[in-house]
Copies of this chain bind each other. A is one copy, B any other.
């Protein structure tokens, strides 16, 4: 049977991993941004991500520095979304035949600079030959209180940091052959995760996740793990003017880009309403975009015209609608 007939990679992996045993003090397993393991009085979080050439990046569009940066930021984003401090990195490389030494050196330079920025120690890795460039990173972090996807409660507000959809808008422009500039260029080619605000938000948030697959998809993850519903008001989504312009240029609806565009590496979190003012005093850079509701009401967004639509699930890496 083909993956597509089965319902795609997500369904398959969920189906398979459910059968594995838990032999250790594992706080949460497959299904969060990072796994959480109790270590003494604290928690260790561990995340892993693979970036595959022509799936997640292209050597045509990205410099080696940009590829290295994106790999590190994607992993740091997962760790900080758990409310944790990043600590230890393992880096796997698959290098295609004929790759230049200078390319690999530049790629590592960006990763080293990121490690210095976030005080991460590179502790190991594996390097192999293969048909395309691939980067696999495993990153640990520690926290006294992990913020899971499962803590959202009915009545909590749904919030996002920064603005959304810019990375996706950048990709759409690239695909049209347009050279990137400004916000959409930075967000697509040189994204930075929200390490700067994550630990300020963590003590207030009931659930948190980083936006790697899009606002809609991440909201659905929180709904599933927290067993709640959600209403997003599309009109409140924070969209940068340059993202809107790029959407017009490429002919995509801005709302689709903002709801389903991935790899923004902003944070989506839920917050009890009485904490908004207290958090705003510490972090100005977030927007309330919706509310957690009872599970029976489902997960939807209200269009600009007030219509109620189910949150789109986005697409998985095999081009299939997510199960």
Contact = CB atoms under 8 A, between A and B. Distances in A.
Interface of A: 1-3, 5-6, 9-10, 12-13, 16-17, 19-24, 26, 29-30, 32, 34-35, 37, 39-40, 46-50, 52, 55-56, 87-88, 90, 92-95, 97-102, 104-105, 108, 112, 115-116, 119-132, 134, 136, 138, 140, 317-318
Nearest to A3: B101
Contacts of A105: 12, 16
A3 B317 contact: no
B37 A95 contact: no
B318 A23 contact: no
Most buried by B among A2, A121, A123, A131: A123
Contacts of A46: 88, 90, 123-124, 138, 140
A56 B49 CA distance: 21
A92 to B, nearest CB: 5
B121 A130 contact: no
Given A52-B129, A129-B317, A123 B30 contact: yes
Nearest to A23: B119
A287 to B, nearest CB: 29
A112 B19 contact: yes
Contacts of A119: 23
A26 B121 contact: yes
A317 B22 CA distance: 35
Nearest to A24: B121
A217 B94 CA distance: 22
A102 B1 contact: yes
Most buried by B among A56, A126, A140: A126
A127 B116 CA distance: 28
Contacts of A56: 128
Contacts of A122: 17, 20, 29-30
A94 B3 contact: no
B100 A1 contact: yes
A292 B317 CA distance: 51
B39 A121 contact: no
